[in-house]
A and B are shown apart, each in its own frame.
Chain A
Amino acid sequence: MLRTNNLYIGYGRRAVKSDLNLHANARDLICLTGTNGCGKSTLLRTLAGLQKPLKGDITIQGKSVQKLSNYERSTLFSLVLTDSIDTENLTVHDLVALGRFPYTNWAGSLSDTDEAKIAESIHQVNLTHKTHCYLNEISDGEKQRAVIAKALAQDTPLVLLDEPTAHLDLPNRVEIMLLLRRLSVNTQKTFILSTHELDLALQMADKIWLMNPNGVEVGIPEDLMLTGKFQEAFGSHSFQFDENDGHCKINHLVGPLHVNVIGEKPATLWLQRALLRCGIQLSESASITIEAHDGVFRLHNTDVHSIEEILKILMD
């Protein structure tokens, strides 16, 4: 499907990443991730043909991207970018209709096939009820879905998305990722997206392209976790990935106080988090024990009804 051969990317003479040999298959949902400034956007922009590779070659379905005409390129991949679309008086339908650009005649008039494709794309992102709304009347999450619908209407085997979840709140971020997951299964398309959302990427991606200072590590999320590649790439003193569930955990500053927590979940779970946040260490051999039972905490033989109160008692 998509393949890069000895690809060098960067600006001017400075290569940000060199000698990349990556490939993507049909139906893949690939998350491109890495620290800020590691070259995610550069790679994505290069794949999208928005900037030239310094060296090497990108092929889609065996055809070299650099040799394609603008038209051929626009039928092979579509883009979802971080560029803001602030045009006045543009409806969701108008925006998605622009995705049909490569297929319409010189006047840009829409055929029945085009209209059907537009309606289908809008339906796929669940925006049918907003078809004739103006872009400045809908929320940021809906706007992002509209842009994704535009990419779908362009009817390309490959969709490139640059930080599609940036600037969105958590429910919308999850929604967009689930949407992409569903689309990659239903539409046979390949999705490549850059993202900072490690937790979401780990749970959704078929494959991760993990950018580290030396190059790009490729693999399924679980293998990359298991081999510690993630910790390596995001290597930092301030957090680590939990060995139990793979979620990222912050390394808190620790104080001298030790506490033992016993009892029922989830009360113990949240109590433990609160203690860690305040720099109180957990240890089974500690002299202070807190027991959680029936929504009540027992500390120094008195009942305490909230975690906030426990913290107050311990800190004094």
Chain B
Amino acid sequence: MNTLPKNTLLFVGLILLTAALFLLDIAFGSVRLPLEALLSDNPIYHEIIFNFRLPKALTAIITGASISVAGLLMQTLFRNPLAGPYVLGVSSGASLGVAIFLLGSSFLPIAFIQSGWGLVISAILGGVLVLLLVLGISFRVRQAVSLLIVGIMFGQIAGSLVTILQNSSNPDSLKLFVVWTFGSLSAVSWTYMQVMLPLVVVGLLLALTIQKSLNGLLLGENYAQGLGISIVRTRFLIIIAVALLAGTTTAFTGPIAFIGMAVPHLVRGLFRTSDHRITLPGTMLCGASLLLLCDLATQLPADGYTLPINAISALVGAPIIIWIILKKKSNS
């Protein structure tokens, strides 16, 4: 087994990369801080670093890892290289859930809206709904690109419903929703983190516990069944995990495009394996680094102005999709 040292090296490299990007993400922001600010006890520096940049960088790590693992799970479940939470409309479904919740719930007590739980639950429900619909259709439509189109259509439908809701809602909740859709890693305060972190950790642990079955699914459902895997149970667990990971992170950061689809491909290419024992942790690290990188890029304009994260992530992820389609074409 001469592949083991190579993988260990790659993992160490990825961990160092993630750590370096994490520190950079804290050090650089829309306000330039001197390096010694990290250690000083100036209350303004302290506020910026501990209550703003630290949760934001942590959110980037958590979100990047979560949506990428969600993408990996979906690609294995659908046996489709183009699957991912954003591409197949799970993020759009979560948006719809959030829209219904924020825009249609003027009669709910304000405390419930602000607690974070309502946001999460509606996003997860919306995500699961679309995931089940797409899963149902995937049994009829096997072709990669057709399923992609179906996912995009679901995204459009969810988008239309959101627009209709927007037209008939009050300005305050409309503003709340519009801000949410821009996608932002800085929206997660320590209070929200207390909700987001446990849910995401449960999702990631769930993914890790089913990695053996995921490897079996690589051969297709019939072979997997022949290996003694319960298809129904595994499929159910995958959907729960995807909903927890993609639903929760989307609820707090808004939809983040294409990262979830692109990262698993980067990892499989990097490690030259489809073994989930490698690709799951690899995807977590790679996803975290990539989103940290995207977050650093949003701060390029500097001085009090940042770009929306969604714009950057699409800029990174979309070319990878084009590359995969072209590669598939040349293979067949």
**Which A residues form the contact surface with B (CB < 8 A)?**
48-50, 69-71, 73-75, 77-79, 81, 83-85, 87-90, 94-95, 98-99, 101-102, 104, 106-109, 134, 136, 154
Contacts and interface: CB of A to CB of B under 8 A. Distances in A.
B274 A89 contact: yes
Interface stretch (B11-19, B218-226, B253-261): B218-226
A86 B274 CA distance: 11
A104 B212 contact: yes
A95 B274 CA distance: 11
A102 B274 contact: no
A78 B226 CA distance: 6
Interface stretch (B176-184, B227-235, B238-246, B303-311): B227-235
Nearest to A85: B219
B223 A102 contact: no
A2 B106 CA distance: 66
A138 B212 CA distance: 25
B272 A71 contact: no
B277 A49 contact: no
A70 B216 contact: no
A102 B227 contact: yes
Contact of A83 (B220, B268, B277): B220
Nearest to A156: B226
Given A87-B274, A88-B268, A48 B226 contact: yes
User: Most chain-B CB neighbours within 10 Å: which of A70, A75, A81, A99?
Assistant: A70
User: Most chain-A CB neighbours within 10 Å: which of B228, B269, B271, B273?
Assistant: B228
B274 A101 contact: no
6 contacts: A79-B226, A81-B222, A94-B274, A98-B218, A101-B229, A136-B331
A50 B273 contact: no
A115 B219 CA distance: 20
Contacts of B228: 69-71, 73-75, 101-102
Contacts of A108: 211-212, 215, 277
B209 interface: yes
Interface of B: 81, 209, 211-212, 215-216, 218-220, 222-223, 225-230, 268-269, 271-275, 277, 331
User: Most chain-A CB neighbours within 10 Å: which of B223, B225, B269, B277?
Assistant: B223
A74 B226 contact: yes
Contacts of B218: 85, 87, 90, 98
B268 A98 contact: no
Nearest to B230: A70
Contacts of A48: 226
B227 A98 contact: yes
Given A50-B225, A83-B223, A98-B218, 17 more contacts: A75-B228, A85-B218, A88-B274, A89-B269, A94-B273, A95-B219, A98-B223, A99-B227, A101-B212, A101-B216, A104-B212, A107-B212, A108-B212, A108-B215, A108-B277, A136-B331, A154-B227
Given A98-B219, A104-B212, A90 B274 contact: yes
Contacts of B230: 70
A300 B311 CA distance: 87
Contacts of A154: 227
A8 B81 CA distance: 39
Contacts of A84: 220
B30 to A, nearest CB: 40
Nearest to A134: B272
Contact of B222 (A73, A74, A83, A95): A83
A187 B229 CA distance: 25
A216 B331 CA distance: 42
Top 4 nearest A-B pairs (CB, nearest first) are A74-B228, A79-B226, A108-B212, A101-B227
A41 B308 CA distance: 54
A102 B224 CA distance: 11
Contacts of B275: 94
Contacts of A87: 218-219, 274
Contacts of A74: 226-228
B154 to A, nearest CB: 25
A65 to B, nearest CB: 13
Nearest to A91: B273
B171 to A, nearest CB: 50
Contacts of B220: 81, 83-85
Contacts of A136: 331
User: Most chain-B CB neighbours within 10 Å: which of A74, A83, A107, A108?
Assistant: A108
B158 to A, nearest CB: 31
A83 B218 CA distance: 12
A60 to B, nearest CB: 14
Contacts of A71: 228
Contacts of A89: 268-269, 271-274
A56 to B, nearest CB: 21
Contacts of A98: 215-216, 218-219, 223, 227
A70 B277 contact: no
B229 A70 contact: yes
A70 B225 contact: yes
A241 to B, nearest CB: 34
B147 to A, nearest CB: 15
